[in-house]
Structure 1
């Protein structure tokens, strides 16, 4: 079964990778930043574009880490924490977009009355 490409999820992942590229690559650890923060969302966007069946699940799992990182940086980088808040909110959007379809299906299956 092939499903439509999740364009909003792909766009959110690409935006997350772009945000990390612009935000975190000015420091000393550019290669580590590219490997840990920039590459995963961009690779997940490409995998969702290619309709890999685990792309949504792995996107939501990775977004939990991005969310945690955003919370930590938003708390410690005050008052200059706009990028951290953007990363945090994008992570929440990615979680919602990646798991929304399966959450709706799960809720719909619980609402169906069973015949006795």
Structure 2
């Protein structure tokens, strides 16, 4: 087979950046409903936004930290969906985005470990 080899990194990086930006936008919209202060927005929306920038700049550990924080975001989403009927839709969106972030951040490693070998 000739031509350029296609790597899984580009697609997973774009997915990771898009989902991190979507999560930051979700937090801004969610906490704007509660008239949250700048501090609350800084602690909720800033981490995914900064990780999106770091991922776009191809910093090596950005995907790792996005996946680690996504575990906390997942837990928060499940806990909020379970306990607050008014915020259930937003919490389920947060949970879904956290799952996408974990898989997008893990995809290059999964592909390297379990991808097709040989030519």
Q: Give the TM-score normalised by structure 1.
A: 0.83
Gaps of 5+ in 2: 1-8
Deviates more, 1:99-108 or 1:54-63: 99-108
CA distance in 2, matches of 1:107, 1:52: 24
In the alignment, structure 1 residue 53 sits paired with structure 2 residue 60? yes
6-15 or 27-36: which moved more? 27-36
Matched ranges for 1:1-116 at <5 A: 4=10, 6-27=13-34, 29-78=36-85, 80-108=87-115
Count of residue correspondences: 108
Gaps of 5+ in 1: none
TM-score by length of 2: 0.81
Structure-2 separation of matches of 1:42 and 1:48: 10
**Following superposition, which runs of at least 4 residues in structure 1 exceed 3 angstroms of deviation?**
none
Compute the displacement of 1:7 (Å): 1.1
Greater relative contact order structure (CA < 8 Å, 6+ sep): 2
